[in-house]
């Protein structure tokens, strides 16, 4: 995009951006990073194995929902409404079962000090 000022002119072509939200945004980002850190630590060190399994598998859910319902190349798009919804719900259940098996139970088995080989 070309500048509107004359060549060689030091006049600004736009106003400075408003930085009122800067400190608030930085505070929110720092808070979210701290919460994410606590979440990851709890997902691997919680005393209850069921809580560890759920915390490790839970982040897969929004990605699976987005992929099955909102992505452009949605599965079952040309089917009837009943088949489309049933197929997507079944795929969501399969994806979550896979996530629980690998991220939850698999990692729990690997990192459990009480297990016996």
Any idea where the domains of the chain sit in the sequence?
Answer: 22-111
Give the per-residue pLDDT at 117: 43
pTM of the model: 0.64
Distance CA 94, CA 2 (A): 53
At residue 82, what are phi and psi to the nearest 5 degrees? -65, -45
Q: For residue 52, give both structure tokens.
A: 């560890």
Give the per-residue pLDDT at 8: 66
Distance CA 104, CA 52 (A): 7
Give the per-residue pLDDT at 108: 77
Grouped pLDDT means (10 residues each) for the chain, 117 residues: 61 59 87 95 86 90 88 80 90 93 83 60
């Amino acid at each position: 995009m070309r500048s509107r000022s004359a060549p060689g002119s030091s006049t600004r072509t736009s106003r400075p951006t408003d930085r009122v939200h800067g400190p608030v945004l930085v505070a929110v980002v720092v808070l979210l990073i701290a919460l994410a850190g606590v979440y990851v630590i709890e997902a691997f060190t919680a005393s209850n194995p069921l809580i560890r399994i759920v915390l490790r598998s839970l982040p897969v859910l929004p990605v699976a929902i987005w992929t099955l319902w909102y992505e452009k190349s949605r599965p079952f798009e040309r089917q009837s409404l009943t088949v489309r919804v049933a197929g997507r719900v079944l795929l969501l259940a399969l994806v979550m079962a896979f996530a629980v098996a690998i991220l939850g139970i698999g990692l729990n088995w690997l990192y459990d000090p009480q297990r016996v080989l």
